[in-house]
A and B are shown apart, each in its own frame.
Chain A
Amino acid sequence: MSLTDAPRIVTARAGFDDSHSIDRFLATGGFDGLRKALTLSPTQVCEQVDTASLLGRGGAGFPAGRKWSMLRKADVSYLVINGDESEPATFKDHLLVEKEPHQLIEGVVIAAYALQVSQAFIFLRGEFALGLERVQTAVNDAYAAGALGQNIFGSGFSLDIVVHPGAGAYICGEETSLLESLEGKRGFPRIKPPFFPAAIGLYGEPTVVNNVETVSNLPWIVLNGGEAFAALGEGRSTGTRLFALSGHVRNPAVYELEMVKHTFRDLIFAPTLGGGIPSGTGVKAIIPGGVSAPWFYEEHLDLPLGQDEVAEAGSMLGSGSIVVMDETTCMVKAAWRITRFFSRESCGQCTPCREGSGWLERILFRLENGQGRREDLDLLLDLCDNIAPGLTWPPQQTTICVLGPSIPSSIHSSISRFRDEFLAHITQGRCPHA
Chain B
Amino acid sequence: MSHLTPERRQRCERLIALYPQKRSALIPLCHIAQEQDGYLSEPAMIEIAAMVGVTPAEVQGTATFYDMLHTEPVGTYVVGVCTNIACLLAGGDDLLAHAESSLGVRAGGTTDDGVFTLEETECLADCDVAPCVQVNHRYVRTTTPDALDGLLAELREGGRADEIPTHGNLIRVQRTTGLVADPEAIAAERAAKREEAGA
Contact = CB atoms under 8 A, between A and B. Distances in A.
Interface of A: 73-75, 77, 85-91, 93-94, 118-119, 125-130, 132-133, 136-137, 139-140, 143-144, 148-150, 158, 160-170, 181-187, 203, 205, 244-248, 252-254, 287, 291, 321, 323, 325, 329, 333-334, 337-338, 341, 344-345, 347
A162 B19 contact: yes
B27 A166 contact: yes
Contact of B181 (A119, A185, A247): A119
Nearest to A116: B193
B23 A183 contact: yes
B177 interface: yes
Nearest to A182: B24
A136 B52 CA distance: 23
B83 interface: yes
A89 B123 contact: yes
B61 interface: yes
Given A140-B176, A167-B27, A184-B25, A162 B18 contact: yes
Contacts of A186: 61-62, 65
Given A143-B176, A167-B67, A334 B86 contact: no
Contacts of B118: none
Contacts of A334: 85, 88-89
A53 B196 CA distance: 29
9 contacts: A127-B124, A136-B171, A160-B181, A165-B27, A168-B69, A185-B62, A205-B190, A323-B85, A334-B85
Query: Is chain A's binding surface mostly helix, strand, loop or mixed?
Result: mixed
B193 A75 contact: yes
Contact of A88 (B85, B128, B172): B85
A169 B67 contact: yes
A126 B122 CA distance: 13
B86 A88 contact: yes
Interface in B25-56: 25-28, 30-31, 52, 54
A126 B170 contact: yes
B53 to A, nearest CB: 10
Interface in B122-174: 122-128, 130, 134, 136-139, 170-174
A169 B128 contact: no
A-B pairs, top 8 by smallest CB distance, nearest first, are A168-B67, A184-B26, A167-B66, A168-B68, A184-B23, A246-B127, A160-B179, A88-B123
A329 B170 CA distance: 37
Nearest to B40: A167
Contact of A168 (B62, B66, B83, B128): B66
Contacts of B18: 160, 162
Given A158-B179, A334-B85, A345-B122, A165 B197 contact: no
Contacts of A168: 66-69
Contacts of A321: 127
Nearest to B180: A160
A77 B130 CA distance: 41
Contacts of B126: 91, 94
A337 B85 contact: yes
Contact of A167 (B30, B52, B85): B30
Contacts of A344: 122
Contact of B83 (A77, A125, A163, A337): A337
A119 B122 contact: no
A164 B193 contact: no
B190 A75 contact: yes
A338 B85 contact: yes
Contacts of B28: 164-165
B181 A133 contact: no
A89 B67 contact: no
A286 to B, nearest CB: 12
A197 to B, nearest CB: 15
A73 B197 contact: yes
B20 A140 contact: no
Contacts of B137: 126-129
Contacts of B125: 85-86, 90-91, 93-94, 125, 127-128
A69 to B, nearest CB: 15
A183 B65 CA distance: 14
B21 interface: yes
B177 A143 contact: yes
B181 A325 contact: no
B186 interface: yes
B40 to A, nearest CB: 10
Contacts of A137: 173
A338 B139 CA distance: 22
B122 A86 contact: yes
Interface string B67-78: 111000000000
Contacts of A169: 65-67
Given A86-B122, A148-B178, A184-B52, 20 more contacts: A75-B197, A88-B86, A90-B127, A91-B128, A129-B138, A160-B178, A160-B179, A162-B18, A166-B66, A167-B69, A168-B69, A169-B66, A186-B65, A246-B89, A252-B128, A323-B89, A325-B89, A337-B85, A338-B84, A338-B85
